[in-house]
């Protein structure tokens, strides 16, 4: 299997498991990843999802043999194929559980879409990133909404056009990853994020992601004020909000822990 899913202690770990090909992905792996994220999103036992990869490298991006084969198909077939990759990115971005990307080694091309679609990312200090598409005469189109959201349009102008290799510390500076740690500390850094996420309300966390998406580019007008007020009112009076407030006042752990 090139994609595996393991669930333990409310944590699902989805693993790219094709290290001999540096975890490059093709249409089969894209379908498998999409299915994996949809399944864990629907699994009530899962609270947090970790996207990781076996071997020395996170992912070399799209498999070039697959890309070459796609190039021989007509425009409509290519668009349908690209839409399947877009569906994967959306499945990660809209997963009903928080998603952490755990990154080591090379993360090139479409791999940055996987990382930037996740809610947060931690990288080993040996990680290297590259938006390499222009070297092939193409552009990182499908992953661009997530990568540009992470690094901003000004940084995207540079790295989309130059295809420079981005060191881990630079990737942190421009927003591709949140933290950079030594390779031997990577698992403990991810586990610390997992534990922080497990302490929060599951509904509140998913609502937080949606809230951020709505307010990021919107005008602070009456519509936004009413929307945010309605959200806090709904959550405060809801079952999870009532449990959280009661647990705090009663000095006990809420029932989701």
Q: What is the CATH number of the domain that holds 22?
A: 3.90.226.10
**pLDDT-based confidence at residue 245 (cuts at 50, 70, 90):** confident
pLDDT for the residue numbered 65: 82
The H-or-E segment that residue 166 falls in is: strand 165-167
d(CA 32, CA 38): 10
Contact 88, 33 (CB under 8 A): yes
pLDDT for the residue numbered 68: 77
**Which has more pLDDT, 103 or 69?**
103
If one counts the domains in the chain, the total is: 2
pLDDT for the residue numbered 50: 98
Q: Does pLDDT of 235 surpass 90?
A: no
d(CA 42, CA 49): 12
**Which has more pLDDT, 138 or 179?**
179
d(CA 131, CA 15): 22
Exposed/middle/buried for 8, CB within 10 Å: 0-12, 13-18, 19+? exposed
Tokens encoding 220: 């602070």
> Which residue among 162, 183, 198 closes a domain?
198
Q: What is the dihedral of CA 51, 57, 63, 65, to 10 degrees?
A: -160
Mean pLDDT computed over every residue of the chain? 92
**pLDDT-based confidence at residue 164 (cuts at 50, 70, 90):** very high
- Residue 151 within any structural domain of the chain: yes
3-state secondary structure of 96: coil
Give yes or no: residues 99 and 175 share one domain. Answer: yes
- Structural domain harbouring 187: 3-198
CA 16 to each of CA 7, 26, 106, 179, 187: distance values in angstroms, whole numbers, following the listed order:
15, 12, 13, 21, 16
3-state secondary structure of 187: helix
Exposed/middle/buried for 87, CB within 10 Å: 0-12, 13-18, 19+? middle
Overall pTM surpassing 0.85 (yes/no): yes
pLDDT tens digit string along 31-65?
Answer: 999 999 999 999 999 999 999 999 999 999 888 78
Give yes or no: residues 144 and 244 share one domain. Answer: no
Give yes or no: residues 188 and 211 share one domain. Answer: no
Tokens encoding 159: 């790295």
- Residue 185 is given by DSSP the state G
- Residue 179 within any structural domain of the chain: yes
Phi and psi at residue 226, to the nearest 5°: -65, -40
- Residue 257 within any structural domain of the chain: no
Give yes or no: residues 147 and 235 share one domain. Answer: no
The radius of gyration of the chain's CA atoms, rounded to the nearest angstrom, is: 19
The H-or-E segment that residue 175 falls in is: none
d(CA 78, CA 105): 30
**pLDDT-based confidence at residue 213 (cuts at 50, 70, 90):** confident
């Amino acid at each position: 299997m090139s994609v595996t899913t393991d669930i333990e202690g409310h944590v699902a770990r989805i693993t790219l498991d094709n290290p001999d090909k540096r975890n490059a992905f093709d249409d089969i792996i894209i379908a498998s990843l999409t299915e994996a994220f949809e399944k864990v999103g629907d699994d009530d036992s899962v609270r947090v999802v970790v996207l990781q990869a076996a071997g020395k490298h996170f992912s070399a991006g799209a498999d070039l043999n697959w890309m070459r084969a796609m190039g021989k198909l007509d425009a409509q077939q290519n668009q349908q194929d690209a839409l399947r990759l877009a569906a994967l990115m959306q499945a990660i971005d809209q997963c009903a559980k928080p998603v952490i990307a755990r990154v080591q080694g090379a993360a090139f091309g479409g791999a940055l879409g996987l990382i930037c679609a996740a809610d947060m990312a931690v990288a080993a200090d040996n990680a290297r990133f590259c938006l390499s598409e222009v070297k092939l005469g193409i552009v990182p189109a499908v992953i661009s909404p997530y990568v540009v959201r992470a690094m901003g349009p000004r940084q995207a102008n540079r790295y989309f056009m130059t295809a420079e290799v981005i060191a881990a510390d630079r990737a942190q500076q421009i927003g591709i990853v949140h933290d950079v740690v030594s390779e031997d500390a990577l698992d403990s850094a991810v586990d610390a994020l997992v534990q922080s996420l497990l302490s929060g309300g599951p509904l509140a966390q998913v609502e937080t992601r949606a809230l951020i998406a709505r307010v990021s580019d919107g005008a602070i007008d009456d519509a936004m004020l009413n929307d945010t007020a309605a959200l806090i009112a709904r959550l405060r009076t809801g079952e999870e909000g009532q449990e959280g407030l009661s647990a705090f006042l009663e000095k006990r752990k809420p029932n989701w822990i």
